[in-house]
Amino acid sequence: MRHVRTLAMIADVAKSGSIRRTAERLNLTPSALTRRIQDFEHELGTEIFERVPHGMRLNAAGELVLRHIRDQMSDLERVRSQLADLSGVRRGHVAVACSQAFADHVLPDEVNAYRAQHPLVSFTVQVRDHSHGIDALIAYEVDLALVLQPPPAPEMHVMMSSEQPLCALMGADHPLAAQPGPVRLRDCFRYPVALPDRSLAIRHHLEAAAVRADLAWSIALESGSLELLRNYVRREHAVSFQIPSGIPADRRGLHARPIDGRDLAPVLIVLGHLRGRRLSIAAAKFADQIARRLHGHDTAGQAWSG
């Protein structure tokens, strides 16, 4: 597997842009790492890095090699997973990018349930909203992306899509909390709003609806943290907006009502992987589990029931 280690070193240098940083991380001397790369370039018959003032940068040949490395590493992980299954023990590693809405309990619950059956499978979860989740797929940083309202991306193969209504989220003592059923946007906007910032897909969804209905809002708070927004509306008679999957099951002091469908279409949820990339058995089985959870819409009926 010596060649695999060399490929991993090259990928690390490409990511860090520095021989020195990669050497420190791998407990090598910079000269030893440089020799490994030069030997690889000699065997390949072409240089793959440009030496620039601030470090190392892949040239056109290097970009092709990096794509090959990522494919090889992905295939190797898939084969390892298959070999483990042959022995009756599922092993492997699954890397997931997810929107914040799934970070509170959806992904923790699903990872816990999967590891209860397969404790030798480990996970990495990156919280990446909207297009950033797609970027992580393209960069081979993750196997799967679970995101809200992703932009069109031919690089992503959609494994599952689902919808959830956007909910108005408020403190349990808020005047709107006393009424049952869906709520109109114009009623929400009579109060100060605590909005997700423009890095989050929910914000763009709300802005488009407000423009269509010619509605104005008074912003009390903007944040890229859904957790902060939830905690804020506990303290002020403000209204925020989240999908049911993003609202904690233990929502003490909070109340949620779905936005009326006349004002706002449901939010699209997409689970996908990089087109053309073959998933390991562990990643494919975890994707199936996530898809069953979201198609079951387990959280949607609970989010505004109390």
Q: Which pLDDT score is estimated for 40?
A: 86
Same domain, 31 and 52: yes
Same domain, 148 and 205: no
- Tokens matching residue 279: 């998933």
How many Cα neighbours within 13 Å face the side chain of 227?
8
Range of the domain at 293: 89-162+268-300
Same domain, 220 and 294: no
8: in domain: yes
What CATH code is carried by the domain that includes residue 8? 1.10.10.10
Number of structural domains (the chain) is 3
Q: Which pLDDT score is estimated for 302?
A: 40
Q: Which pLDDT score is estimated for 298?
A: 44
In the chain (306 residues long), the average pLDDT of successive 10-residue segments reads: 77 87 87 87 87 84 83 73 61 91 93 93 92 91 94 92 94 93 96 94 93 94 95 95 89 92 94 90 92 67 37
Q: Which pLDDT score is estimated for 90?
A: 66
Helices 60-86 and 281-296: angle between axes, nearest 10 degrees: 80
Identify the sign of the CA torsion 28, 10, 2, 88: positive
207: in domain: yes
Same domain, 127 and 9: no
Q: Which pLDDT score is estimated for 222?
A: 97
Q: Which pLDDT score is estimated for 20?
A: 87
Q: Which pLDDT score is estimated for 228?
A: 96
Total residues belonging to the chain: 306
Q: Which pLDDT score is estimated for 232?
A: 96
- 181-to-107, 168, 192, 201, 301 alpha-carbon distances in Å: 28, 11, 21, 24, 12
What CATH code is carried by the domain that includes residue 133? 3.40.190.10
287: in domain: yes
CA 254 to centroid of chain Cα atoms: 25
Q: Which pLDDT score is estimated for 260?
A: 96
172: in domain: yes
Same domain, 158 and 171: no
Per-residue three-class SS string for the chain: CHHHHHHHHHHHHHHHCCHHHHHHHCCCCHHHHHHHHHHHHHHHCCCCEEEECCEEEECHHHHHHHHHHHHHHHHHHHHHHHHHHHCCCCCEEEEEEECHHHCCCHHHHHHHHHHHHCCCEEEEEEECCCHHHHHHHHCCCCCEEEEECCCCCCCEEEEEEEEECCEEEEECCCHHHHCCCCECHHHHCCCCEEEECCCCHHHHHHHHHHHHHCCCCCEEEEECCHHHHHHHHCCCCCEEEECHHHCCCCCCCEEEEEECCCCCCCEEEEEEEECCCCCCHHHHHHHHHHHHHHHHCCCHHHHCCC
Same domain, 202 and 156: no
84: in domain: no
12: in domain: yes
Same domain, 274 and 156: yes
Specify the pairing of strand 167-171 against strand 121-127.
unpaired
Q: Which pLDDT score is estimated for 5?
A: 81
Q: Which pLDDT score is estimated for 88?
A: 53
Q: Which pLDDT score is estimated for 73?
A: 74
Same domain, 185 and 223: yes
Q: Terminal CA-to-CA distance of the chain, rounded, Å?
A: 56
Same domain, 18 and 60: yes
What CATH code is carried by the domain that includes residue 228? 3.40.190.290
Same domain, 25 and 53: yes
